[in-house]
Amino acid sequence: MKKEHKLVKLSPGEAELLELFWEHGPLTLPGAYQLYLGTGKTPSYSTIQTRLNRMADKGLLDRSADFPAIYTCNVAREDAQGKYFELLDTLAGKNLAPLMLHLFEKRSLTPDEIATMKSILAQIDTEQNSAERQ
């Protein structure tokens, strides 16, 4: 049985910051700022501080009372992705093949990603064929 997730809509800036928390766990403002700079973007320190505080106010992050404050993510990656999958599903008109082709044309896949996708498709095919036989 699939676990139900609360779908969360994020701004692009919030999604970028949450990606840091999903990869690195709890962070302080200085830590989040340094990691964000590593993405090649150059916001000001105060911009990241404002974003983190707004995300805490929205409940996306917890902010400790420590100094410096430690921010902890409250949003699972699956919850954030789900909102966008719903939108993509609607835009694709229930036909995912053209959407997938478009995505793969915009971003090349690594051999590991291709192998993983082949495995996923084979598993789905097996499950669907099994369900049809029953």
Q: CA-CA-CA-CA torsion for 111, 115, 121, 125, nearest 10 degrees?
A: 150
What residues contact 117, with CB distance under 8 A and at least 6 apart?
109
CATH class of 12-77: mainly alpha
| Nearest alpha carbon to residue 18 among 106, 103, 78, 89 | 78
CA-CA distances (angstroms) from residue 82 to 7, 9, 63, 66, 131?
A: 6, 9, 25, 33, 25
d(CA 26, CA 71): 6
**What is the pLDDT at residue 23?**
94
CB of 71 closer than 8 Å to CB of 52: yes
| Nearest alpha carbon to residue 56 among 3, 45, 82, 65 | 65
- For tokens 């093949």, the residue is 97
Domain ranges of the chain: 12-77, 95-133
CB of 61 closer than 8 Å to CB of 52: yes
Q: Say what the pTM is.
A: 0.64
d(CA 122, CA 126): 6
Per-residue pLDDT tens digits for 8-32: 677 888 888 999 999 999 999 999 9
| Nearest alpha carbon to residue 73 among 59, 64, 61 | 61
**What is the pLDDT at residue 54?**
93
- What's the token pair of residue 52? 């983190």
**What is the pLDDT at residue 84?**
67
In terms of residues, how long is the chain? 134
Q: Which residues of the chain have pLDDT under 70?
A: 1-8, 82-84, 133-134
